[in-house]
Amino acid sequence: MLKLIRGGFVYAPEEIGTKDILVAGEKIIGIADTITPPIGIETEIIDASGKKVVPGLIDAHIHINGAGGGGGFDSRSNPAPLTRYTKAGVTTCVGCMGIDKIGFSLEGLLSRVNALESEGVTAYMISGSYSMPSITITSSLVKDLYLIDKVIGVKIALWETLASHPSEDMLIKTISETRLGARLGNKAGVVVSHLGDVKGRPSDIPDLLDRIGIPNETFVMTHVNRNSDLLKQTIECGKRGIVLDLTGTIPNETKIQPSKALRILLDGGVPLDNVTMTSDSNGAVKFENEEGLVLPIDICVHEIQDMVKREGFSLTDALKTMTVNPARVYKLNKKGRVAEGKDADILLLDKNLDVDTVIARGKLMLREKNPVAWGLFERQVF
């Protein structure tokens, strides 16, 4: 059966105006001012009039199998159900590990990646965790990237008190192995670096990469908005091609709201193409005298709204941080755009930019803000 999304104003993410979009299977096969359903082929009509039609969001740093543990056994979170992704407009995610590499495992992460794929969204993962040498599934970063289709990079942690504080030689070895595995497996081979609160020198990273001949755009610094000093330190990195990832977290006395952080980065000369935003959600954080807090996946949707409504960014520019930019960085060539030949990952946003309808790989997941697809056990458990 075909799907015809009719009469929505399309941000691809660039504005292309009011269009009809024809979907066959998992792909977008046509975009035009007017499309007439083909005779004799069953076609589901989705009325998008009055809605903004945008690409599905890519959340490239999310603890899909749970995380946490830094505050004891009761500070660990659980996997989020499918509808938490779809209600947030997330149609593609990249899962990662957190602090705990004992209670959680890369094998468990890969299992959850495959489960989400079966449930209808697109999922990938990165190897590694906070510590180096990096944990792997196959005993080798090169093998993980070469042999496991869903592994597209590695996570490390720098200037983090709970990490292994790697030497420069160990860091170079990890980056180089990631690059080799990525070339063999035709992957992006992104090195995603969690940045902690320990005083460090992010500006040393571009020089190190230049010295060993690794492209700067394959290195992502995440949590750059955890405090104003770190954000300012990473500006020069972003100007030199490092990808700066804003964490869509609830701001406190030190964290900078992503919409405000984006303004600071761009005013500092960082190209928008070098900025992404991720939720870092489903990771539990234990606060003194408080219960564990699980950050919601949909926080990024609210940040996109704030970019437009509070900071005055165009919807196109706001969307780029979670569509075309991560698609390019992670080499997800079928994702990130509303265009012919791309995967049919499509959102309909209402006038308030809230997620109204979600199509993931051509399958209707959310209609008028209500789920129409669930995980296998979701309605029984959650």
Q: Annotated catalytic sites, by residue?
A: 280
With beta carbons less than 8 A apart as the criterion, state whether 343 and 335 touch.
yes
Query: How many Å apart are CA 277 and CA 353, to the nearest integer?
Result: 17
With beta carbons less than 8 A apart as the criterion, state whether 326 and 334 touch.
no
- Both tokens assigned to 198: 């320990």
Coil, strand, or helix at residue 53? strand
With beta carbons less than 8 A apart as the criterion, state whether 367 and 98 touch.
no
Quick one: which H or E segment has residue 97? none
> Amino acid letter at 49?
S
Q: Can you say how many angstroms the Cα of residue 381 is from the centroid of all Cα atoms in its chain?
A: 26
Residue with tokens 């700066």: 244
* Helix runs in the chain, H state only: 82-87, 106-119, 141-147, 168-185, 204-212, 228-239, 258-267, 299-309, 315-320, 324-329, 378-381
Any residues with CB less than 8 A from the CB of 352 and at least 6 apart, and which? 305
Residues counted in the chain: 382
